[in-house]
Amino acid sequence: MKSERFEALIDAIIAIIITIIVLDLPVPSVVTWDSIFALKMNFFAYFVSFLLCYNFWNNHQKFFGYIKTIDHRVMWLGAGSMFVLSFIPYLTSLITTDFNAFFPLFLYGLIFIVIDILFLMSCYILKNVDSDNLELEKRVGIITKKIIIIILIIIIGIIIGYLAYPSAILFSCFGCMIASWLMSYLGIY
């Protein structure tokens, strides 16, 4: 089956998720530079969540440029990814209540890992469905390396978060975005 409708659904869901995240940003009772600056971690959490959604969309846009058809397994993995991604507004709100609480930050980092694993599973299924597509096969190998690096960065953040500084998990998630962009800029994906 063609992927256009599936891609449109992903686009719509991501737009809704981003809207919900921004609507959850707190509004200070008195708007001053100090009151806005006091919310700096809230804005940082929103920024990282926005980047996760954008990165997810961007990776799908790039990847679906190499494929011609999808099957039901990819659609279900996509639905699973959207389900997991839809928790981002809730987890963003949860982590902004206490940036030193390990468990909400752990769940936030875990979302990154689960989404990447589901995307990688989709890539391998698509590679098997379209086995004659040499460009797709090359891209899946590159994506595998990229996702391994991203997961390792988050695991390091989780370990540091557990042992000493829980906010390290949020910073590791942000580091994943930077690593992802650098790999794209360098032509890795």
Tokens of 50: 């926005």
Q: What is the predicted pLDDT for the residue at 189?
A: 57
Q: What is the predicted pLDDT for the residue at 97?
A: 86
Q: What is the predicted pLDDT for the residue at 106?
A: 96
Residue, of 189 and 15, whose pLDDT is higher: 15
- Rounded to an integer, the average pLDDT of 107-126 is 90
Q: What's the whole-model pTM score?
A: 0.83
Question: How do residues 40-97 score in pLDDT, each as one tens digit?
Answer: 888 988 988 898 888 888 888 877 777 777 788 888 888 898 899 999 999 988 988 8
